[in-house]
A = this chain, B = another copy of it.
Amino acid sequence: MVHQLRTMATKVLTPLTRSKHPHLKRGPFKKLQQEDINYFRTVLGSNQITTETDAHNIDLFNLYRGSSKLCLFPKSTEQVSSILAYCNDQHLAVVPQGGNTGVSGGAVPVFDEIVVNMSKFNRIRAFDDLSGIATVDGGVILEQLDQYLAPKGYTVPLDLGAKGSCQIAGNVSTNAGGLRLLRFGNLHGNVLGLEVVLPDGTILDDLSTLRKNNTGYDLKQLFIGAEGTLGMVTGVSLLTPIRPSSVNVTLVAMSSFEKVLQAYVSAKDHLGEILSAFEFWDMSSIKVVESKMEMEAFPVSQSDAPFYALVETQGSRDDHDKLKLEHYLESLMAEDVVLDGVLAQDDKQMRSLWQWREKIPEAIVACGPALTYDVSMDIRLFKQMVDSTMKHFEQKGLIGNTYQNIIGFGHIGDGNLHIMANMTGFDHNAQEVFDKYVFEWALANKGSISAEHGIGIHKVDYMERSKRGKNQLPLMNKIKNTLDPRGIMNPYKLLPE
């Protein structure tokens, strides 16, 4: 899916990052010289260095493009250490890159930063089948790890659309959330240890494989969600849960957003410990998917209901789980919470139901230049936010002209709303106007401008507003200066100038 997205997007858009951030100036870093390339050739094998950097200069959605002249592919922690120590000494800027599936422009260069790509650093180092603790190189692909764990009866504690391309170190560096955070919690809880190369080349060994370890500051936490601005994550130790022997999925249609919330409360009551996902989307999302994707017939009779939810359970006994789910659906029907619903009878049906949720981003990207937002807030406000956005641009007469297909979907259980919209043609100003409306709405309602996508370059100009009065930015800057005094790690991202 991810590669399809990439291909489609490339046809539509080719902006440069800098044109979106005209005030950005290249930092006072050294420009790459032949002597630098010569040095890297002494550290790396010939297949670990390239000056053909096109694929590494551009992000998945083709929204951000840099002009790096060099991409390096280390295969060991020591090689990463040699690279960063040299770059720090020479004052060469660096952008760490994993699967390059991020959506905030954090993993591509802004100017000519050297790309350090982790895709060749991808061994599974160890797995303990008693504790379920895996230790892996940073470049291991999420799905690769899941496939390794499957026959051992374990699974990865996070799941996201990009799992076939995204890498563990990238997941850690962006604090990836995904579809089952509701069940397994976030990476701050599931990452047990990290090995990190600090900007000066120091190898920080915090790669504990212990579930509990209270011996001083929990340093690894600093790097979870730091988007590569404090160092490069080279090794990860991860607590992996038992693979569920029973998975069930239901899709229900509802007449109002209030009913979605009722269905969520009821799911927590009826499904308790087996609830693994509660995803919602609106009718506009369905229309977009139907218009662009080859789908089977919509499985629920009310294909014009304003709201839908997909409820997934994962458990250890299928008979118990099915019974819980049946009682749940019966109570929803009895109390008129849902208009209609369908319960998948096999794996094929389950995948088919998930498609109606998972194809949404791909479908809207296929409609034209797409704006993607990822906010979190009190879930009671989700509908109000989508409605307000629609109404605001309608009143300005911009719907149909500048913007179209405003849709809302997301992770109810995590308080995480995705709003997407198309522009009729790519227009930086139109994007900025939409950004401003969405971000300010979220902030005015005590929400976050980034639930799980991170800041990258996309939202860096909103960090000041996001943190106003909180005293967070001065401390973030102090930490940045303490760990990366020369500022070589992923400059221009995350922290405003």
In the assembled complex, A211 has its CB within 8 A of some CB on chain B: yes
- Contact of A221 (CB < 8 Å), options: B221, B315, B472: B221
In the complex, are the beta carbons of A188 and B221 less than 8 A apart?
yes
> In the complex, which residues 197-232 of chain A have their Cβ closer than 8 Å to any Cβ of chain B?
198, 202-206, 208-219, 221-222, 224-226, 230
A377 CB to closest chain B CB (Å) equals 7
**A183 to chain B: closest residue by CB:** B273
- Contact of A415 (CB < 8 Å), options: B131, B244, B320, B377: B131
- Contact of A222 (CB < 8 Å), options: B174, B217, B316: B217
In the complex, are the beta carbons of A216 and B320 less than 8 A apart?
no
Q: How far is the CA of A221 from the CA of B226 in the complex (A)?
A: 12
Fill in one digit per residue for A223-245: 1 if any B CB lies within 8 Å of its CB, else 0: 01110001000000000001011
A309 CB to closest chain B CB (Å) equals 15
In the assembled complex, A175 has its CB within 8 A of some CB on chain B: yes
**A229 to chain B: closest residue by CB:** B217
| Chain B residues within 8 Å of A379, by CB | 130-131
| Chain B residues within 8 Å of A448, by CB | 208, 210, 212-215
In the complex, are the beta carbons of A186 and B186 less than 8 A apart?
no
In the complex, are the beta carbons of B463 and A203 less than 8 A apart?
no
A352-360, A394-402, A430-438, A473-481: which lies at the B interface?
A473-481
| Chain B residues within 8 Å of A222, by CB | 217-218, 221-222
In the assembled complex, A416 has its CB within 8 A of some CB on chain B: yes
In the assembled complex, A185 has its CB within 8 A of some CB on chain B: yes
From A175, A213, A448, A495, name the one whose CB has the most chain B CB atoms within 10 angstroms.
A213
In the complex, are the beta carbons of B218 and A188 less than 8 A apart?
yes
In the complex, are the beta carbons of A451 and B315 less than 8 A apart?
no
Q: How far is the CA of A416 from the CA of B244 in the complex (A)?
A: 25
In the assembled complex, A91 has its CB within 8 A of some CB on chain B: no
Fill in one digit per residue for A441-457: 1 if any B CB lies within 8 Å of its CB, else 0: 00000111111111100
A374 CB to closest chain B CB (Å) equals 8
A28-36, A65-73, A262-270, A340-348: which lies at the B interface?
A262-270
In the assembled complex, A376 has its CB within 8 A of some CB on chain B: yes
In the complex, are the beta carbons of A476 and B217 less than 8 A apart?
yes
In the assembled complex, A21 has its CB within 8 A of some CB on chain B: no
In the assembled complex, A151 has its CB within 8 A of some CB on chain B: no
In the complex, are the beta carbons of A214 and B451 less than 8 A apart?
yes
In the complex, are the beta carbons of B315 and A273 less than 8 A apart?
yes
> In the complex, which residues 406-429 of chain A have their Cβ closer than 8 Å to any Cβ of chain B?
411, 414-416
Q: How far is the CA of A218 from the CA of B203 in the complex (A)?
A: 22
**A174 to chain B: closest residue by CB:** B214
Known pairs A218-B225, A219-B472, A221-B222; A212 contacts B186 (CB<8 A): yes
Fill in one digit per residue for A117-140: 1 if any B CB lies within 8 Å of its CB, else 0: 000000000001011000000000
| Chain B residues within 8 Å of A224, by CB | 218, 221
Known pairs A190-B189, A320-B320, A378-B128; A470 contacts B205 (CB<8 A): yes
Binding site for B on A (CB under 8 A): 128, 130-131, 174-175, 177, 181, 185-186, 188-190, 198, 202-206, 208-219, 221-222, 224-226, 230, 242, 244-245, 261, 264-265, 268-274, 314-317, 320, 323-324, 376-380, 411, 414-416, 446-455, 459, 463, 466-467, 469-473, 475-476, 478-479, 482-483, 494-495
16 contacts between A and B (CB under 8 A): A177-B214, A181-B211, A186-B189, A188-B218, A188-B221, A198-B471, A204-B475, A210-B447, A213-B451, A215-B455, A218-B225, A219-B475, A242-B269, A272-B315, A320-B323, A475-B483
